[in-house]
Amino acid sequence: MSDPRESSSGESGPGESGRGESGRGESGRGMSGVQEPDKVVILDRDGTIVIDRGYLDDPRGLEFGPQAAEGLHWLHSQGYRLVVITNQSGIGRGYFTIERLEAMNARLTAMVEESGARLAGIYYCPHAPEAACDCRKPAQGLLRRAAAELGFDPAAAVVIGDKESDIEFGRRAGATTILIAAEAPPAGSGARADFVAPNLMAAARVAASACARRAGPR
């Protein structure tokens, strides 16, 4: 079984550890010089950042979803580190290669930078569901790896996604979860998100509000 893969805005190859703009374990300091808690948002890719086009393997087909570019820019401007964790079973199913996915990742990184934001890393599971790996969401393998490499507490992160597996992924980590959906799913339909937002810009503001409440008064 192949290892879960990671890529970043750097030039590291498949499976190598890259670094985004934020270094390992860094936290910002406010104007008062008081150390601020690290702020990390874990994002799904398809249906959250970009329009979900199934097993897309052409970088030219990547297109931001409604208000996604604005949401990424706003989160970055507020000091959040942005990490993409995505299931890409098209590789395991034989629909496209890792090289094609790496080209997609490079295009996504460029799109995010053009929006005025930056990704700290892109982590992906290449396996088909039947592989029973520990990196396909909602399993925690990729989150543990991202946390170790980038230096953050998964339970203090915010997880944003459009699928039940994304929400279950966040809940297993003890993170705050936000579902991208037009409305909340009916009761009993699966893992319940802490919040529901119609797009990534709305989710960004919800994430900031949730983090502020969690941090409490200073």
| Alpha-carbon torsion angle 101, 84, 55, 172, nearest 10 | 130
| CB of 118 closer than 8 Å to CB of 76 | yes
As a whole number of angstroms, the distance between CA 178 and CA 195 comes to: 5
Instruction: Mark whether 38 is an active-site residue.
Output: no
Cα angle vertex 110, ends 109, 115, to 5°?
100
Q: What is the largest CA-CA distance in the chain?
A: 53
How far apart are the C-alpha atoms of 68 and 189, rounded to whole Å? 26
The burial of 60, by beta-carbon neighbours within 10 Å (0-12 exposed, 13-18 middle, 19 or more buried), is given as exposed
Catalytic option among 3, 38, 44, 153: 44
The label of the residue with tokens 């934020």 reads 22
From the list 3, 38, 46, 166, the catalytic residue is: 46
With CA atoms as reference, report the closest residue to 123 among 109, 142, 104. Answer: 142
Give catalytic residues, as residue numbers.
Answer: 44, 46
